[in-house]
Amino acid sequence: MTEYLPSAVNIFGANGLISRVGVSHYPHLSPGYLSSTFDTLYFTFDERGNVCEEMYKNEGVRQRKGYASYGTPLTDTSEVFIGIAQGVCFGFGAQFGYYTDFETGLILCTYRYYDPQTGRWIN
């Protein structure tokens, strides 16, 4: 059985998250999917540092997102993409380094976990 392990590097600048550069290893897929080369995923943010759009260098917007004041997702036009976009853990507060755990629904805010459904810190 072949394992497909995409790897990625997140790039932060002076104002926070800039992009995610990754390699995906899916040689059996048709053209149009990420190949085993480097691809860069760029982000745009709203005034609160939440990801609004995700896009690749040579393509248009691949995904749009929106969040309420306390992190509850409002809109998400996600599709299943193979490669570095799969499992992108950026959303609410991403410009400031917050990570979303899709298995639990919690947001890691540097050192503490936040539950957007209840609007409370869990630790």
Does any domain span residue 54? yes
The whole-number average pLDDT for the span 97-111 is: 86
> Residue 117 has which token pair?
């459904």
Does any domain span residue 43? yes
**Count of CB atoms within 10 A of residue 53's CB?**
16
Does any domain span residue 40? yes
Longest Cα–Cα distance in the chain? 45
Number of domains in the chain: 1
Q: Is 46 helix (H, G, I), strand (E, B) or coil?
A: coil
Q: What is the pTM of this model?
A: 0.62
State the amino acid at position 11 in one-letter form.
I
Does any domain span residue 2? no
| CA distances from residue 43 to 4, 53, 86, 103 in whole angstroms, order as listed | 25, 6, 15, 22
Does any domain span residue 1? no
**pLDDT tens figures, 37-78:** 556 778 888 888 888 888 877 777 877 888 888 888 886 555
Q: What is the structure's pLDDT at 78?
A: 55
Does any domain span residue 44? yes
